[in-house]
Structures are given as structure tokens and as C-alpha cells.
Amino acid sequence: MEQHPSGLKLASWLVAAGRTVDPGASLNVPPIPASNFILGQGRSYARGDSTPTWEALEEVIGGLEAGKAVAFASGMAAVAAIFDQLPSGARVVLPDDCYQGVVGLAMAGAARGRWSVQRIALTDTAAWQQACTEADLIWLESPSNPLLTVADLDVICAAPRKPGTIVAVDNTFATPLNQQPLELGATVSVQSATKFIGGHSDLLAGVVTTRDEALWQQLHQTRTLAGAIPGTLEAFLAVRGARTLALRLERAQYNAMILAQRLLEHPLVTCVRYPGLPSHPTHTTAKRLLKGFGTIISFDVAGGAATADAVCRHVRLIRHATSLGAVESTMERRAAVAGQEHLPPSLLRLSVGIEDVHDLWNDLDAAIRATIT
């Protein structure tokens, strides 16, 4: 596992960072539900001056990604703060496969004349390099949601760019343990802490990390003015969840590889997408750039949308639910989600959790066979 500048491995940093050090203080920074503070000691109002609980989360994630972090109320609040840095008439470039929330935000802004939007296939590295010299915001998502395409991030992030261009990487699927966008040359790395950072399906939060001090100040100001602040309990839970990220990711990735290999051989499964499989179109790129192949599998079942919906209804251990990155395995048919109608109708996105892999397989196999045979 990668080493933190402190000399610790990242797994150790996750456990050690964001803690109090004063003698007699609590070991963990507690949830501090304060809106305002006694004047004269540096803080006055939480929306602009933060709280120790938010700052603990920012220390953990900022240090994990070797930058400086700003925490937000949700992943989409973090995304919106980046878009808010764009000048009027900006040019935005998005991948062909991208989280529908980002696409919705970008297209809504384009409809109001705030910017124009271009879509580029994630695998068209040359087009992305060219876009870096012309666009104001390069938005990358790797692995992508839900087709799990892995982009040539090292090449794209190192490409010459127009002055002021922001290269943003949604690093949610990879997590900072598998990929370090800032090390590759990205301007910002974005995490939906709702997912792997929190890890327990019990919070909404987002974090943006950058090494650009001026941009960090602007993002902090955007959060203050927009009021997109993280909740106190959510920030506390996100820090607590992050402590076990390395363990959870290790177990879930182990499970995901086994399930992907078995799904590949299943007679009632027509397509399996997982970056760890040699059959995946960007497997070679994934091996070069990712330290682990992640916990998300997308696969198609024979029989179309109705069959895929039936599989979701028949699973018992795996939960039929949206979102991902938690200790429990979840699955949904993505084309049923608004804005995702272009996806294969029978595509199921499976977020693999930390359950026993044999129990997961038995549940998944039984659900597929019960609905198709």
C-alpha cells in the first residue's frame, strides 16, 4: 500500500489522522453541533469558520489524497462547487459514461447559457488531450459509472492545458487507496464520502481535495456563501467510517474478483464488466494505473429488463438498493434510473460488500436462475 508523506502507510494514516492530541482531550474529535462560538478565539460562525468535526474529516481525506480538502454536504454539493468556479460561457467536457447527477447538473447549466457541454469517450485519449488545451473544465470519472471504463488518467492529466483549466477527477469508485489523481496531475480530486469513505449507508457528504491554495480558498468561499456545509453527525460518521476503509476495501475487492469470475462463466449472464478481468476493454490500463480493481461489477442477464428487475426482487442477502460502497452488497438495474436510459436495459450494477463471498454467490446465482429458468 502507498506511503503517506508522514512515513506511515495510507492504511495507518486513516486510523491516525484527524485526532486530538491535547492531554485530557477525547481520543476522537467528537460531533460538535455548534452554529456559533464565543468571540475572540478564532471562530465566530460555523458556516464560514468550520467546526473541529468538519476539520477532522478534511484532515483525513486531504492527507489521504496528499492535498488540502474542503468538505461539503453531499457529493453533488462538492461537484456543484467546482462548476461554480467556471466563468460565464465556459466550455465543459464530460465523459460519455458518467454519473447521471453530474450530467444533469452540467446540462441544466448549459440550458441556462452558463456553459457549453461536450461529451468524449473515455477511451479516446487523444481527444481528451486536445480538449485540455481548449476547455475550462475537464471532468473525468475513472473507473466510470456504471460501465467501469478506466481512462488514461496519467496521460490526460499530464497533457498541456489552457491557463486556468480545471482538471477534475471523480475518484469515488477507485478511492484514494487505489488511485491518486493529484499525483497524476489533476487539479482536484472529488469524493462522494457517502460511498466508500462513510461505508455504512448512513450519511451524505462530499469532499474536494486540491493542491492549489487559491482554488482551495475559492472552494471554501463557495461553500460558505452557498451554505453547502456538512452536517455535524455526518462529518463525525464519515471520519469513523474512513478508519476502516482499507480493511473494507480489501475484503470487498477480494469478493468482487471472485464474483466477477463466476459471473463470467454463468450461462445466464451475457456480459460482465469488471476492470480486474482480462476480458474488460480497459483491463490493461487498469493494471497500469489502479492499485486495486474496486468493488463494483456491472453485468447483463439474459432475458432483458424484466428479467433483470426480477433478479433484483429475488436476491435476499444482497439488497435491492441504489448507491454503493457500503459494507452490505447492493444491486440495481441502472437503466431504470432517470438519465440512464441509454444503458443496456438488462445491466445490473452490483456493489460488492464484505459479506462471505460464498453466501453472496449462492444468493446471486439462485436469484438469476429463479428468474430465468
pLDDT at 364 over 60: yes
Q: Which residues are catalytic?
A: 47, 99, 170, 195
β-strand partners of 330: 319, 351
pLDDT in tens, 138-192: 999 999 999 999 999 999 999 999 999 999 999 999 999 999 999 999 999 999 9
Name the percent of the chain lying above pLDDT 70. 99
Helices marked H in the chain: 10-16, 46-49, 52-64, 75-83, 100-111, 125-132, 153-157, 181-184, 213-226, 232-242, 245-264, 283-289, 305-314, 357-372
What number is the average pLDDT over the span 255-283?
Answer: 97
Mean pLDDT, the chain, integer: 96
Instruction: Provide the greatest CA pair distance for the chain.
Output: 71
Confirm if 341 and 100 have CB atoms less than 8 A apart.
no
Global model pTM greater than 0.85: yes
What cell was used for 297?
Answer: 461489477
- Domains of the chain, first to last: 10-242 (3.40.640.10), 246-372 (3.90.1150.10)
pLDDT tier for residue 338 given thresholds of 50, 70 and 90: confident
pLDDT in tens, 321-332: 999 999 999 999
Report pLDDT for 82.
Answer: 98
